[in-house]
Amino acid sequence: MSRTITYAEAICEAQRDALRSDPSVILFGENVAAPWRPATKGLKDEFGKERVRDAPITETAFIGAGVGAAIMGIKPIVELMLIDFGLVAMDQILNQMAKTTYMTGGNVNVPMVLRAIYGARGGGAATHSECLYGIYAHMPGMKVVVPSNPYDAKGLLTTAINDPNPVVFFEHIRLSNMEGEVPEESYSIPFGVANTLREGTDVTVVAVGRMVQEALKAADELKGKISVEVIDPRTLVPLDEEAILRSVQKTGRLVVVDEDYERCGFSAEVAAVVAEKGFHNLKAPVARVANPNVPLPFNKTLENHVLPDAEKIVRAIKNVVK
Amino acid sequence: MKLGDDKRLDLYRVMVRIRTFENGVRQLINDGKVGYVSFYTGGEAVAAAVSAHLVKEDQIGSTHRPLGHLIAKGADLKRMMAEIAGKATGTNKGKGGAYHIFDKEVGALGANGIVGGSVPMAAGYALANQLKDTDNVSISYFGEGASNQGGVQETLNLAACWKLPMVFVCENSSPEEQTMLGHKIDYPQLSITDISQRAPAYGMPGESHPGWDVEEVYKIAGEAIQRARRGEGPTLLEFKIHRLNADEDSPHCPIKCYRDKLMMDGVLSKELDDKIRSEEAAKVKEAMDFAVGSPEPELVDAYSDIFVEGA
C-alpha cells in the first residue's frame, strides 16, 4: 500500500528493510545514530549501536573500513555526510572501493553502498554544495545512482544494497523534504533503466536528481507550445543509452541538464553518446544547461545565477527548437 | 615461553621460503620475464613470526612490498608467481600484479599499491570479525613512510575507538638513518625515534623492537595478537628492519641470525639446512616454471571483473 512520505524517509525505509531482512547489512558514518536525521532516524534504536554506529570524523578510515568489511562479506552502507567531504578520502573511494574487484581479477568483491548528500542548498559555498557525481562516474568499477524523487530513492537504494558491487548513492539536500507516493512494502528498481516522466515529440530533455524537477517545470511551462520529453536516467553508471537514443530518434533535439560542473561531466557524456550514436537523428546542435565551471558561490544571488533552473532550461529548449 | 624445535624450524623454513621465492623473482627479472617488483628482503622475521600466530580465518593487509607477508600467510606460490609475471593463471588473473596480489582463501587481503592504502581496509576486516563475533584478528602491515599517512593515523584512532581486534605492524626499514627510496634525506620523515611512541596518543599500547630476531618478534607479536583475540583492542608494534639483497651476509639478516642460533642450539645441522633449502628451492622452481609456462590473458579478459555479476 502506498502513502505519502518524504525522500529522506524513503531512504530511511529502504535501509530499515535491508537491516531487517539481512543480518549482514550494517550502517555507519558521521552522526548516523543521531535521533534527528531523517534518513537514518530510528535505525539505531531498532538495530542497536553495533550495526548502526557513529564514526569519528575520519572519512578515509571509515570508508576504508567499509571497503574491508565488504570484502569480508558484510554489506556496509556507509554514509558520507556531504559528497564534498569525500574528497579527503579519494584513495579509499577511487582506488580501493572502485578498483579492488578488477585488480584482484574478481578474487574479491565489494558489496558496499556509499550514501552521500549532495547539491546546492542556498548559501553552502563550494565545499558544501557540489554534485561531483561526474568524478565517481568517471572511475570504472562503481555504480552511480542519482534519484530524483521519493519512489525512486527507496527502490534504487534497495537495489544498491543488494548489488554485489560498490555503489555511490547521491541524495540531493533540497529533495530531502520532497513528498511522494511510496509503497510501504520493499521493492527494487533496476539500475540502467531510464524513467520517461513526460512524453513529447519536439525535444528530449535529459536530467538527473533535483534537475529532473526543474526540467519538469520547464516542460509544464512550455505545454501547448513545445512538446518536451523528459528523461531521467536515474543511474549514471550504468547509463540507459538506448532510452536516450530512442527519444532523440523521435524528437531530433537534445538538451542535457546537469547541476554538476559542465566540463568532462555527465552532460558531456550524454552529449557524446548522442553525437557518436545518434548524430544522424539530430536536427539541431545538442544544448547543455549545467554549472558553467564555477565553484558554487556563497552569495545566493550568485549561486542562483550559475545554477541550472527551469527558466534556463526553457531558454535552452527554445533555442534548439526555433 | 620456550619454543619447541618443530616451531623453531617452521619459523626458519618460512623465512627461507620467502627469501628463496624473492630470489626466484630476481632471476625472472634478470631473464626478462618479469618487470619491476618491490622486494621484502630483510623483513622475513616479521612476516614469519607474525603469521605463525595466525590461522587461515585471520586476515592480513599488506603493502607494495607484499611477498613476505603473503607467503607467510600461506598464499599459493604458483599463482603468486604467475601473477607477478602477469599471467592468466595468477591469483588476480594477471590484472593486478605484485602490488595487488590477493589470495582470499588464506586471508591474504592483500597487497596494496598505495602507501598506507591497505590500513583502513584492515580495520574493515577487523570490524567484520568483531561483528561476526569470532576471535579472528587482522594484521595491518605498513612501513615507516606510511606511518605518517593521514589514513594510517585515522585508522589508529578508529581502531582504538571501536576496540577493533587488530594489530598494526609497522616495519621501519630505515631505523638508524632516515632514507627514502634508498637516498638519505635532508629533512627527516619522522621527528620521533620510535613510531610506537604514537600508540599512547591514540589510546593503545605500543612497542618498538628489532625485527631481525624472529623469536623476539614471535613473542612480542604473540602478546599483541592474543590481546586482540581477547577483545581488548588494537596494538601498534614497530619492528626495525634493514632492507637487504639476495645474499645472507648482513649481521641484520634474519635468516643468517637464526641459522647461527639454531646451529648453536643443536636444532639445525648443515644437512638439515641443506634439506630445507633444497625443498624450498624445489617449490619455488615449480612456481617459476608454472609462471613461465602459463598463458597470457586473452584480450577479452581486459573487460571482465570490472563488476561482478548477480545480486
Per-residue pLDDT of B255-307, as tens digits, reads 999 999 999 999 999 999 999 999 999 999 999 999 999 999 999 999 999 99
Interface test with B, best of A32, A62, A72 (most B CBs within 10 A): A72
Say if B261 is an interface residue toward chain A (CB within 8 Å): no
Distance CA B236, CA B224 (A): 8
Q: Which grid cell is A277?
A: 550514436
Domain A2-183 = CATH 3.50.50.60: no
pLDDT value for B187: 87
Task: Outline which parts of chain A fall under CATH 3.40.50.970.
Answer: 2-183
Say if B299 is an interface residue toward chain A (CB within 8 Å): no
Task: Outline which parts of chain A fall under CATH 3.40.50.920.
Answer: 195-321
Q: How many CB atoms lie within 10 A of CB A228?
A: 28
Say if A56 is an interface residue toward chain B (CB within 8 Å): yes
pLDDT value for B1: 62
pLDDT value for A87: 96
Q: DSSP states of A118-183 as a string?
A: ES--SS-GGGSS---HHHHHHSTT-EEE---SHHHHHHHHHHHHH-SS-EEEEEEGGGTT-EEEEE
Distance CA A303, CA A223 (A): 28
Residue-wise pLDDT for A264-274, tens only, equals 999 999 999 99
Bond prior to B120 in cis (omega within 30° of 0): no
Catalytic residue flag (residue A241): no
Catalytic residue flag (residue A128): yes
Bond prior to B151 in cis (omega within 30° of 0): no
Inter-chain touch A143–B307, beta carbons under 8 Å: yes
Q: What mean pLDDT do residues A221-243 have?
A: 98
Question: What are chain B's domains?
Answer: 5-174+187-295 (3.40.50.970)
Most distant CA pair in chain B: distance in Å?
A: 59
- Residue B48 identity (one-letter amino acid): A
What architecture is the A195-321 domain classified under in CATH? Answer: 3-Layer(aba) Sandwich (3.40)
Residue-wise pLDDT for A168-183, tens only, equals 999 999 999 999 999 9
Contacts of A196 (CB under 8 A, 6+ apart): A229, A230, A231, A232, A243, A247
Question: Which residue among B94, B96, B124 sits closest to A72, beta carbon to beta carbon?
Answer: B124
Q: Would you say residue A1 has pLDDT above 90?
A: no
Residue-wise pLDDT for B52-85, tens only, equals 999 999 999 999 999 999 999 999 999 999 999 9
Residue A115 binned pLDDT confidence (cut-offs 50, 70, 90): very high
Find how far residue B28's CA is from the centre of its chain.
Answer: 21
Say if B305 is an interface residue toward chain A (CB within 8 Å): yes
By C-alpha distance, the chain B residue nearest A160 is B311
CA distances from B226 to A83, B102, B126, B167 (A): 39, 25, 14, 10
pLDDT value for B23: 98
Which position among A128, A172, A214, A262 bears the catalytic label?
A128
Q: Would you say residue B229 has pLDDT above 80?
A: yes
Question: Which residue among A58, A65, A103 sits closest to B95, beta carbon to beta carbon?
Answer: A103
Q: What mean pLDDT do residues A238-247 have?
A: 98
Q: Would you say residue B311 has pLDDT above 70?
A: no
- What number is the ipTM of this complex? 0.95
Residue B123 binned pLDDT confidence (cut-offs 50, 70, 90): very high
Choose the weakest-confidence range: A244-248, B125-129, B178-182, B184-188: B178-182
